[in-house]
């Protein structure tokens, strides 16, 4: 039986187009999406663009591209049909005007005419200066001036409208992550909620829209937690129902909180996808580094949320099933590049990305004039795919270069160096014997038998195989030697072994 749509739960992602979406914003979008899906609710995208000064062209386009790439679909909102249109605040100014007038009329907001300079001076003079019930009677605002002068001043267009916060009142609200929070209104500022150019500020527009759009849960970053008491006051002044609040822990990189202005991330990407837009310059993104959208979703879901089970690889459906606000941590979360790569690796394998890898590898080989056969490439990719962390040519090449080029540099661990120095005789003997062995396709059993027949010790067997690995690959890494032997021809193997032999015997005389 199909579940009924629960129209009651309505959540929104409300980004400001002040720069490209980063993964902090993406996580907010994702958690909203997950919660809507989990509750059969509605997920809304609203663009909060009241701050024209900080507007950056194409950031809405980049945002939409990113959500699409991650497959985070919204039900209602910007660019889509919906009952609560328009879903972009710059097209809703008439609505805000109506509500600001109501607040003024009911004396919950007032005009303020103070010069910026004067306020700066106050802040300098009184360290903890706050514009509110304790100070506003001595400042230049409509509460202290007679009506005639007010009308005159309003005409000069040099005013702002401030929220009249109550005197000495405890504002209490409950956040689903941070619990009960109480703040005394004397600690709050009479925030500017409307400007003389007839535009609202974020705090005001946000409350009006959340109410008019019937938002039931406000899920957003912790940076907004301290503004919530102010929003509660506005809700109360209008006598509106207050939505539930869910503030998500901050995401930190090695330099502190990630933000649109914090570009210094030491290789840790903070943007989801590359940019198609000239004015949005993204140097490093998850997409370009070779992350898959499915794994990025998994990585981002785990930024703060930790389900009580012993697994960290989940697809979106499992995340939706498991997700609860209870499992979100209060503490700030750190981006972890190593873990992100580990998650991506799991997805690369799972989703059979051979074709993508084939394409990148082939392109690279052609570009570098390296001989290759498609059949061989496919075999190699099958062997190395479970080692690839990122679908980019650097990582692919790192895992398979030795099939295409003969190593000329060798990394020999110290222990092995000593073994070589003290066991030259046996090494020369084994080098001599092993050549024959490579004539027939070698496998593990054959090689064990081969060494057994020679009656050499386990120690020699152990070190000699390492020597062979280094001669083929250049260092102690890579897939099974026997798989490599199967793909390289006899001449090639012997050439590498001989080359390495001369190198070690010249160096370790």
Q: Footprint of ligand GLU on this chain (CB under 6 A)? A: 14-16, 48, 202, 206, 220, 224
Alpha-carbon span 7 to 509, nearest angstrom? 81
With 0-12 / 13-18 / 19 or more C-beta atoms within 10 angstroms meaning exposed / middle / buried, residue 297 is: buried
Tokens of 210: 């959340």
In the bound complex, what is the minimum distance in angstroms from residue 252's beta carbon to ligand GLU?
A: 17
Minimum separation from the CB atom of position 48 to ligand GLU (A): 3
Closer by beta carbon to ligand GLU, 55 or else 505? 55
Cβ proximity to ligand GLU: between 188 and 504 the closer is 188
Which of residues 224 and 277 has its CB atom nearest to ligand GLU in the complex? 224
**Closer CB to ligand GLU, residue 202 or residue 305?**
202
Q: Pick the closer one to ligand GLU by CB: 139 or 192.
A: 192
CB-based contacts of 341: which residues, under 8 Å, 6+ apart? 389, 390
**Min separation Cβ 47 and ligand GLU, Å:** 8
What are 467's two structure tokens?
A: 């020597």
Q: How far is the CB of 125 from ligand GLU (least distance, A)?
A: 33
Q: Which is nearer to ligand GLU, 136 or 220 (CB)?
A: 220
Sign of CA dihedral 306, 309, 310, 315: negative
Measured distance CA(147)–CA(130) in Å, rounded = 25
- Extended beta strands in 9-59, E state: 10-13, 42-45
Q: How far is the CB of 238 from ligand GLU (least distance, A)?
A: 17
> Closest distance between ligand GLU and the C-beta of residue 16, in Å?
4
Answer yes or no: are the C-beta atoms of 500 and 471 closer than 8 Å.
yes
Distance CA 367, CA 25 (A): 38
**CB of 189: closest distance to ligand GLU in angstroms?**
18
**Per-residue CA distances from 268 to 12, 285, 337, 415 (Å):** 28, 9, 6, 35
Given the complex with ligand GLU, which of 234 and 292 has the nearer CB atom?
234
Nearer to ligand GLU, 206 or 295 (CB): 206
Shortest Å distance, C-beta 12 to ligand GLU: 7
The 8 Å CB, 24+ separation contacts for 279-282 are 279/56, 279/57, 279/58, 280/19, 280/20, 280/56, 280/58, 280/59, 280/62, 282/20
Reduced to 3 states (helix: H, G, I; strand: E, B; else coil), residue 117 is helix
């Amino acid at each position: 039986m199909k579940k009924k749509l629960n129209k009651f739960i309505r959540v929104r992602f409300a980004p400001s187009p002040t720069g490209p979406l980063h993964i902090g914003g993406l996580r907010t979008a994702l958690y909203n999406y997950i919660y809507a899906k989990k509750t059969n609710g509605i997920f809304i995208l609203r663009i909060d663009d009241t701050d024209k000064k900080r507007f950056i062209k194409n950031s809405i386009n980049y945002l939409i591209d990113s959500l699409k790439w991650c497959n985070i679909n919204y039900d209602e909102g910007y660019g889509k049909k919906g009952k609560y249109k328009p879903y972009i605040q710059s097209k809703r100014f008439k609505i805000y005007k109506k509500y600001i007038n109501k607040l003024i009329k009911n004396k919950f907001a007032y005009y303020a005419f103070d010069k910026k300079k004067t306020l700066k001076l106050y802040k300098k003079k009184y360290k903890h200066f706050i514009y509110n019930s304790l100070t506003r009677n001595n400042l230049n605002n409509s509460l202290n001036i007679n009506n005639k002068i007010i009308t005159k001043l309003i005409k000069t267009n040099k005013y702002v409208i401030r929220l009249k916060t109550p005197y000495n009142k405890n504002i209490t609200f409950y956040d689903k992550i941070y619990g009960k929070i109480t703040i005394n209104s004397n600690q709050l500022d009479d925030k500017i909620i409307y400007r003389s150019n007839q535009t609202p500020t974020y705090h005001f527009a946000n409350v009006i829209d959340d109410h008019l759009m019937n938002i039931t849960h406000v899920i957003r970053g912790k940076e907004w937690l301290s503004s919530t008491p102010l929003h509660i006051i506005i809700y109360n002044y209008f006598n509106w129902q207050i939505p539930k609040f869910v503030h998500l822990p901050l995401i930190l990189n090695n330099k502190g909180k990630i933000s649109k202005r914090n570009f210094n991330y030491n290789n840790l990407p903070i943007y989801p996808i590359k940019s198609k837009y000239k004015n949005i310059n993204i140097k490093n993104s998850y997409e370009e580094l070779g992350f898959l959208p499915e794994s990025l979703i998994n990585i981002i879901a785990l930024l703060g949320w930790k389900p009580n089970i012993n697994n960290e690889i989940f697809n979106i459906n499992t995340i939706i099933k498991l997700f609860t606000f209870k499992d979100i941590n209060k503490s700030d979360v750190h981006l972890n590049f190593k873990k992100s790569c580990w998650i991506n690796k799991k997805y690369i394998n799972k989703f059979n990305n051979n074709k993508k890898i084939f394409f990148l590898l082939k392109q690279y080989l052609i570009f570098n004039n390296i001989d290759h056969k498609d059949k061989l490439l496919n075999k190699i990719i099958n062997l190395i795919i479970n080692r690839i962390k990122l679908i980019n040519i650097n990582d692919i090449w790192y895992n398979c270069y030795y099939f295409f080029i003969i190593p000329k540099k060798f990394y020999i661990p110290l222990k092995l160096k000593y073994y070589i120095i003290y066991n030259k005789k046996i090494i020369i003997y084994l080098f001599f014997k092993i050549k024959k062995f490579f004539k027939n396709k070698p496998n593990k059993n054959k090689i064990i038998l081969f060494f057994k027949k020679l009656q050499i010790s386990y120690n020699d067997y152990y070190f000699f195989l390492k020597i062979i690995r280094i001669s083929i690959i250049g260092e102690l890494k890579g897939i099974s030697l026997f798989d490599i032997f199967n793909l390289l021809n006899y001449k090639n193997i012997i050439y590498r072994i001989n080359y390495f032999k001369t190198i070690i015997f010249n160096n370790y005389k």
